[in-house]
Amino acid sequence: MTEIGITAPPAVGWDIHCHTVFSDGTETPLTLLRQAKALGLHGVAISDHDTTAGWQEALDASREVGLPLLRGTEITAADDDVSVHMLAFQYDPTNVRIREMFASTRAARLRRSQRMVALIAQDYPIAWEDVLAQTREGERTTVGRPHIADALVAAGVYRNRSEAFSGAVSSTAKYYLPTPSPTTREVVAAVKDAGGVIVIAHAGDPQRNRNLLSDRQIGRLIDEGLDGLEVWHRGNPPEQRERLLGIAAKHDLLVTGGSDWHGKGKPNKLGENLTDDATIREILRRGVRL
Ligand SMILES: [Zn+2]
Ligand SMILES: [Zn+2]
């Protein structure tokens, strides 16, 4: 493989961690591609949460704007008690194994939301229909806590969503149930089966978890086929970047960077962290032709 050996963040290249309206971003894929072009980025990846729904629109936008695109998904997984985000790139979206994984996750999350609403309904005047009424895309929306919060606001229990999130919808409330997710092992296996490239996102971000993945947990995922680590991300503090770079050098892993852009949804600026061109070429070489 290419001798990349970077120890400092790349100054030019691609932003391969971007969210659009197809998950929790505020902008369309076309806006993503246009803004990336205006910034002089070499390319971008669309990496919405647990979906490939935006891929076609992003591809059309990539052609219209004339900027190359990687197709990706940020998949939420669980490794013991650690919630892990994994970036999957350039995999076959029609692969049966990965489709079944997404479908069963969606079904489990729907059941989880229904159970939470049933618990909340014992104390507050809401029903499942009220929650469904808060979704924009109906069936296609993954119904979750934001919609339950909105239903409680509509019922007059709270004034706004954040009040609901510090009340009945809080993760510390007695109604809370954890979000069902596939294991990291299942995600690596499914993405590999679909011919893709798999990278752990912001693996050193202490804000996200009380416990971070240990070297041993990362080592096990490397044995199972992990391709790389997202080192250049605003959530990874310097000492974690150093740790992750050490693991990557030892095991010849890809080192990626991305902004985790959400449009107006988060302060992260498009292009604030990048992946160098040599790493992109390696992702394209390893992934499937789409
Ligand atoms: Zn993430
Ligand atoms: Zn993200």
Cα 22 to ligand 2 centre (Å): 12
pLDDT in tens, 200-237: 999 999 988 888 999 999 999 999 999 999 999 999 99
C-alpha dihedral sign at 187, 193, 194, 198: positive
Q: pLDDT-derived band of residue 138, with 50, 70 and 90 as boundaries?
A: low
Q: 223 CB contacts (<8 Å, ≥6 apart)?
A: none
Mean pLDDT, the chain, as a whole number?
94
Q: Report how far ligand 2's centroid is from the alpha carbon of 18 (Å).
A: 7
Ligand at minimal distance from the CA of 209 is 1
Residue 1 has pLDDT above 70, yes or no: no
Q: CB–CB of 273/257 below 8 Å?
A: yes
- How close is the Cα of 20 to the center of ligand 1, in Å? 13
Question: Please, what are the domains in the chain?
Answer: 14-93+194-286 (3.20.20.140), 102-165 (1.10.150.650)
Q: What is the pLDDT of residue 85?
A: 96
Residue 233 Cα to ligand 1 midpoint, Å, equals 10
Dist CA 142 CA 131 (whole Å): 12
- Distance from the alpha carbon of residue 273 to the mean position of ligand 1, in angstroms: 14
Percent of the chain past pLDDT 90, that is, above it, reads 85
**Distance, CA 112 to ligand 1 centroid (Å)?**
21
Distance between Cα 201 and ligand 1 center (Å): 6
Task: Kindly give the distance from the C-alpha atom of residue 54 to the centroid of ligand 2, in angstroms, as a whole number.
Answer: 15
% of the chain residues with pLDDT over 70: 96
Beta bridge partners of 69: 44
Look at residue 141 in the predicted model and tell me its pLDDT: 66
DSSP annotation string for 243-263: HHHHHHHHHT-EEEE---B-G
pLDDT at residue 61 tops 80: yes
48 CA to middle of ligand 1, Å? 10
Stretch 253-262: mean pLDDT, rounded? 97
Query: How many Å is the Cα radius of gyration of the chain?
Result: 19
- Is pLDDT of 5 > 70? no
pLDDT band at residue 278 under the 50/70/90 scheme: very high
Whether pLDDT at 273 is above 50 = yes
List, in order, residues 6 or more apart from 85 with CB less than 8 Å away: 74, 75, 76, 77, 200, 201, 202, 208
Please state the rounded mean pLDDT for residues 44-66.
96
Please name the amino acid found at residue 209: N
pLDDT for the residue 2? 43
Ligand 2: centre distance to CA 129 (Å):
30
Structural element, H or E, at residue 59: helix 55-65
Q: Looking at the predicted structure, is the pLDDT value of residue 144 above 90?
A: no
Instruction: Calculate how far, in angstroms, residue 45's C-alpha sits from the geometric centre of ligand 1.
Output: 14
Q: Are 21 and 4 in contact (CB under 8 A)?
A: no
Q: Which ligand is nearest to the CA of 200?
A: 1
pLDDT at 245: 97
200 Cα–ligand 2 center, Å: 11
- Nearest alpha-carbon partner for 268 in 50, 11, 24: 24
pLDDT band for position 137 (50/70/90)? low
Q: How many whole angstroms from 116 Cα to the centroid of ligand 1? A: 24
CA of 76 to the centre of ligand 2 (A): 10
C-alpha closest to that of 30 among 2, 5, 67: 67
Ligand 2 center to residue 115 CA distance, Å?
27
Cα–Cα dist 97/195, whole Å: 11
Burial 237-263 (b: 16+ CB within 10 A, else e): eeebbebbbebbeeeebbbbbbbbbbb
